[in-house]
Amino acid sequence: MAEFTMELNDEQKEVRDWLHGFAADVIRPAAAEWDEREETPWPVIQEAAKVGIYSLDFYAQQYFDPTGLGISMAMEELFWGDAGIALSIVGTGLAAVGVLANGTEEQIGTWIPQMYGDASDVKVAAFCSSEPDAGSDVAAMRTRAVYDEAKDEWVINGTKTWATNGGIANVHVVVAVVDPELGSKGHASFIVPPNTPGLAQGQKFKKHGIRASHTAEVILDNVRVPGSCLLGGKDKLDERLARAREKAKKGGERVKNAAMATFEASRPAVGAMAVGTARAAYEVALEYATTREQFGRPIIDNQGVAFQLADMRTSIDAARLLVWRASWMAVNGKPFTAAEGSMSKLFASETAKKVTAQAIQILGGNGYTREYPVERMHRDAAIYTIFEGTSEIQRLVIARTISGTSVR
């Protein structure tokens, strides 16, 4: 087990500086264009693939960093560049985490490489969990997977929404109900291979922020996938469902479902994304405050501005520390006894919203225009308190964990 440290080692610093350079030289110059176009920035993803950032090997190295800081550090630097483009680069990772969290070694080795493709033929993947009537309330999920024993196939029907890369993905990971009587405990995750009949893109959403990231509905109409596409395999699923049924009879402990296992593993990473966006806005505001003069002096000489910047930097550093703690705990098998993963996501996402709003205020009228990036950063930051568990859901998780009661 690696000791918790707040100091990056030489190798981590080298990776951080490399990512920062890519974010500064490739992502930032393209940010405004792709935000306006509201399209997937394939050329930028391809550049990331060419240098090795968009690849299974890179994310595996960061994911298995024994300090736990690899992924968080990478997310912060890329999202410092631009949240929309960065999400296009890392969005495949949520589907990959879904396979890593629930799949067998064979499934991991088979499907994750197909999610990324290679530098000459870049692919993306999508994790499909949310539905029109089932966002935070995963128990309300209606997408159904029925096993056809004669053909050893699963037949999936339903509609997914808010899917990053939905419909344009090479590989889709779909969470579906296999036993409706068990509620959220009766869910399982499935791989939908490329070009599977019955899967289609529905509505593509025009969003407030992160516009360079493709978000759409995914329609599943009698989609048939081989039995081998059930993540974890049928034997493991049958055992889990049997335990859930038994515990349901006894009113026993909760059983994790496939979607929540993925979200729990990714929450500190989302917190790191928020830290990157907040840091970017803070740096713009700091530079502006030191160079913009009013009444014959830089505006940072005024307490009203200087104190805001002090609060912004303090909140960013506090958010990063919570993210790093949760990341270290997750990799080293430390249980989240106080919902530390949710804490990190909650505080970092709220910090990003507040800091980007403060940055606009410090820039005044200029901050409200698209000539400066803080208005885009503020729009982008709004998503952090919503996706992968709203701030309200994070507070609910934390409250339930620290109280041991079913807070509603």
Domain map (residue ranges) of the chain: 10-122, 125-250, 258-403
In sign, the C-alpha dihedral spanning 38, 40, 44, 48 is positive
Tell me, what's the pLDDT at 217?
A: 98
**Quick one: fold of 125-250?**
Butyryl-CoA Dehydrogenase, subunit A; domain 2 (2.40.110)
Architecture of domain 10-122: Orthogonal Bundle (1.10)
Residue 114, classified by CB atoms within 10 Å of its CB into exposed (0-12), middle (13-18) or buried (19+), is middle
Ranges of the chain whose pLDDT falls below 50: 253, 255
Helix axes 374-381, 340-363, angle to 10 degrees: 150
**Cross-strand pairs, 245:** none
Tell me, what's the pLDDT at 136?
A: 67
Rounded to whole angstroms, the Cα distance separating 54 from 47 reads: 8
- 3-class DSSP state for residue 390? coil
**Cross-strand pairs, 146:** 155
Helix extents (H) in 141-257 = 234-250
The fourth-level CATH superfamily of domain 258-403 is Butyryl-CoA Dehydrogenase, subunit A, domain 3 (1.20.140.10)
Tell me, what's the pLDDT at 255?
A: 44
Number of H helices and number of E strands within the chain? 14, 11
| Structure tokens that stand for 370 in this block | 């698209």
Q: Are domains 10-122 and 125-250 of this chain identical in fold?
A: no
pTM of this structure: 0.91
Tell me, what's the pLDDT at 248?
A: 73
Catalogue the active-site residues: 388
Tell me, what's the pLDDT at 283?
A: 98
Residue pair 345/270 in contact (Cβ under 8 Å)? The answer is yes
Rounded to whole angstroms, the Cα distance separating 32 from 371 reads: 9
Tell me, what's the pLDDT at 259?
A: 53
Rounded to whole angstroms, the Cα distance separating 100 from 79 reads: 23
Helix axes 258-291, 340-363, angle to 10 degrees: 30
Residue 84 makes CB contacts below 8 A (sequence gap 6+) with 31, 34, 35, 209, 210, 211, 212, 213, 380
Tell me, what's the pLDDT at 264?
A: 62
